[in-house]
Each structure stands twice: as C-alpha cells, then as structure tokens.
A and B are shown apart, each in its own frame.
Chain A
Amino acid sequence: MTPRYPTLQTADHDPDGPLLGRLRSGDEQAFVTLVQRYRPSMLRIASGYVPSQAVAEEVVQDAWVGFLRGLSRFEGRSSVRTWLFRILVNRARSAGVRERRTLAVSDLTVTVDSARFDATGHWLVPPEPWSDLVDDRIAAQRMAGLVRTAIADLPARQREVVTLRDIEGLSSEEVCGVLEITDANLRVLLHRGRSRVRQLLESEFGRA
C-alpha cells in the first residue's frame, strides 16, 4: 500500500498509512494534515471527560505528544486513528474524571418505559411521530443542541460509545479497538445511550 516506505506496517486499508512514513521521515506537513484531520474529533471526545474546554485542549495536546513519542513503537496492528484515539481516551480518563456527573444518571436507563406497553407487550402509549423533523433545518438545529447536551449528560461509558460511534462515525470495530471492549458490550452501551438521547428528543418534540 505504501511502497515508498517498505519497512512500515499499517493495518490494511488504513487511510493514514502513507502519512506515517512521511511523519517518521520528518515531514511536518504530514503532521499538520493528521492534526487537521483528527484534532476536532479529539477535542469533542476529550470534552466528554473534563470540566472545561481549556482542559480538553491540554488533554488533546498531551495525546499528540504521546502519539509522537510512541511513533517508533507503533506496529500497525490497529489503524492510526484507533491507536491515536486510544491514547487520547486513556489520557482523558486519567486527566479529569467527571464521576460526580456519572452518578447523576443511572446506568440502567430503560429503553422505553414499560408503562407504555400493555400486558401483551404492544404499545399502549406509542411514540408521537417527530422523526420527519430531522429534515427541517430549524428543528434539526434545535435537535443538534439537545443531542449534544443529552450525550454530554450520559453515564461515562455510554457517552464514550455514543460519541465515538454516532458523533465521530467510527465503525463498531474501531470503537471496540479504541475503548478495548467487546462487540456485545459496545451494543449494550450504545443501545442504552441512544435510547436515552431519543427519550430527551421525545420529551421536546413528541408531545401530542
């Protein structure tokens, strides 16, 4: 994939593979490209762990330093992005823990309140339709604000997976690689997190 740097190994089809070789050979533009590509995501991810934007900036900076330091040891078993985000998540976790916040919402969010189903499991209080609003520019903007807040308020582990999977758009496999969790675990957390965010949108848009 990167014939100019034959000694370099990267995960198959890693779009950042060619940049690694350039980085190691002293090409600062390659570093800027990588920073431009991932810094916004890293900031959003870091903000989920620490109390302020300033601290998030520090965590991200720190992660880049860790990335550069580890560059010579990187063996390409995961993609560059997975590895970079794993460094970031580990630093963010130890930098600022928002455990107080974590305790505020139960980890055992129900998907849908069981009171909304009858004894046979059919809807008694079905969801009011609002999904079409996502195509309405004004409504979608309001939704984005609510979703941002709702995700920020999720319990830590749910917030991690929803941020990586839904905001940053990583594949399930990548999220598992970054957070070092199983596929099944990922889906449980994702399910709870998304359910909770939907509930908050419903409380705003789903009134009859």
Chain B
Amino acid sequence: MRLHVLARRDVVCQQAVELVTDYLEGALPRAARRRFERHLAGCPHCTEYLAQIRATIAVAGRISPADLTAEMRADFIDLYRRWQRDDS
C-alpha cells in the first residue's frame, strides 16, 4: 500500500524502516530500491538502522551448533540398522 506513494515521492525515515526486510531479501522492485538507497545516502540514522538489522542477522547466524558425541553417533547407527532390518 505504501508502494504507490513511493512511486511519486521520496522515502521518509518511517517508510524506510518498513522497507528494510524487502530490501535485504532482494524483494524491492528496482525503482523502489533506488529510492531506498537514495534515502540511505542522505540519512545517517536510517543507515545505522539498516546496519543494526544486519548486525542482528549476523549475530543470529553465529549461534553455534553442538557436535555429535561418539555415543550419539552409535545411537544413530543403531537407528539406521533397525530401519534397514524393518524395511527389507
């Protein structure tokens, strides 16, 4: 609903923060993307806002996985063997 407004006018900050996800997901049409980037170029606050969302995503991506222990490995091999037995 905001897109038709954007087609005619420049993006203001309150609209810019709503466009961040579409921008990062590559879902903004080219013209809207250009308007968004033009806004960023002149607005340090929205630039920081975008950087914060990027930081949030980066931190989420670093939440570390747990490794498989030898015991768990044996359990899974067992699970697989049982499946093979039942399946054949």
Contact = CB atoms under 8 A, between A and B. Distances in A.
Interface string B33-61: 00000000001011011011111111111
A15 interface: no
A194 B21 contact: yes
B51 to A, nearest CB: 4
Contact of B56 (A121, A172, A183, A201): A201
B25 A147 contact: no
B60 A28 contact: no
A167 B80 contact: no
Interface residues of B, number: 43
Interface residues on A, range: 35 or more
Most buried by A among B48, B60, B84: B60
Interface of B: 12-15, 17-18, 20-22, 25, 27, 43, 45-46, 48-49, 51-63, 65-68, 72-73, 76-77, 79-81, 83-84, 87
Interface of A: 26, 28, 31-32, 35-36, 39-41, 43-44, 61, 64-65, 68-69, 72, 111-112, 114, 117, 120-123, 126-127, 129-131, 133-134, 140, 143-144, 147-148, 151, 162, 166-167, 169, 172, 183, 187, 190-191, 194-195, 197-198, 201-202
